[in-house]
Amino acid sequence: METVTSADGTRIAYERHGDGPPLVLLHGGSTRHYWEPLLSRFTDEFTVFLSDRRGRGDSGDSEEYSIRREVEDARAVIDAVDGKPTLFGHSFGGLQAIETARIEPVRAVVAYEPAYLVGAYREQADLSERMQEQLDDGAPREAMKLHLREVLHDREPPDFDGWLEAWPPWPACVEHVENTVRMDRALEKHRLPDALDVDAPALLLSGTDGPSHLRDSVRAVHDAIPDSRLVEFDGLGHSGPTEAPKRVVAEVRDFLDDAGSMWRRSH
């Protein structure tokens, strides 16, 4: 494990694996270990950087929180990279990747269901408030259940608690519930602009079985990025990269091969 220091002095932990052009993987609501099912599928061709978001895993934290600081954290990791990297983010990490690519030169950006909130869903979003009420009542597990229902399911399974007990990240993810509340609060305030000025090829990924508001989001992001490709995986949900790593990585590698060819022709 290595560390870098973000702009506000927060220590950000990361790992590097493999050899080749740099690929920075940005996780969503868990830690850098989210990417372990995909790691070996990239390290034969890329130097892969896995970082922990602030307040998670081995990274430090600060009292004040904002999406801007998360972007600064990603930029601090990029500063440790030799060469112009590709960014691949999942969920919040997808938003983090795109927002970073707006201000930092990157070779390409990939985002699986980036966590922008759009349309009517954004106008009535109150998830952070409902989660905070559960926290104030001393019920962190119930608070995290609210978040997971919202981001993993369009229709709640008949036996949600039974499904949850069989879901590998549960209940360890409850330790991040307070960070998740502040993340959701920031996302509810963050507005997707009509145009995202990303000066790099972009691949946007989604699954047919995830929540409809995230599928609406990824389409809106596709419309806002001029040079973007949208791929929807049949039968996958919001956890698509770990549900079907072979399918997702194959799509990403095909895209990066095309993007690399375009980059070489332009240089």
Which of 211, 223, 191, 247 shows the shortest CA–CA distance to 91? 211
Grade residue 156 by pLDDT with cuts at 50, 70 and 90: low
Residue 170, pLDDT score: 92
The mean of the pLDDT values for the chain is 93
Q: Provide the residue type at 108 as one letter.
A: A
Per residue in 36-78, pLDDT tens?
999 999 999 999 999 999 999 999 999 999 999 999 999 999 9
Tell me, rounded to whole angstroms, the distance of Cα 8 from its chain centroid.
21
Q: Confidence class of residue 160 from pLDDT cuts 50, 70 and 90?
A: confident
d(CA 136, CA 132): 6
Residue 263 has pLDDT above 90, yes or no: no
**Mean pLDDT value across residues 118-143:** 95
Phi, psi values for residue 2, rounded to 5°: -125, 170
Average pLDDT over residues 133-141: 97
Residues of the chain with CATH 3.40.50.1820: 2-119+192-266
pLDDT band at 261 (very low <50, low <70, confident <90, very high): low
Residue 79: its H or E element: helix 67-79
pLDDT at residue 183 in the model: 97
The whole-angstrom separation of Cα 101 and Cα 202 is 10
2-119+192-266 to CATH, choices 3.20.20.140, 3.40.640.10, 3.90.1150.10, 3.40.50.1820: 3.40.50.1820
pLDDT value at residue 232: 97
Which DSSP category does 102 fall into? T
In this structure, the strands spanning 11-18 and 2-5 are: antiparallel
Q: Which is it for strands 108-112 and 22-26: parallel, antiparallel or unpaired?
A: unpaired
Q: Alpha-carbon distance 129 to 154, whole Å? A: 20
Q: What percent of the chain has pLDDT over 70?
A: 96
Instruction: Indicate if the pLDDT at residue 258 is higher than 70.
Output: yes
Residues 231/205, Cβ–Cβ less than 8 Å: yes
User: Bridge partners of 87?
Assistant: 24, 109
More confident residue, 66 or 153: 66
Q: Is 158's pLDDT higher than 80?
A: no
Most confident of 153-162, 168-177, 179-188: 179-188
Name the one residue in this structure whose structure tokens are 């493999």. Answer: 18
Torsion sign across C-alpha atoms 258, 264, 265, 267: positive
Quote the pLDDT of residue 267.
44
| pLDDT score at 7 | 97
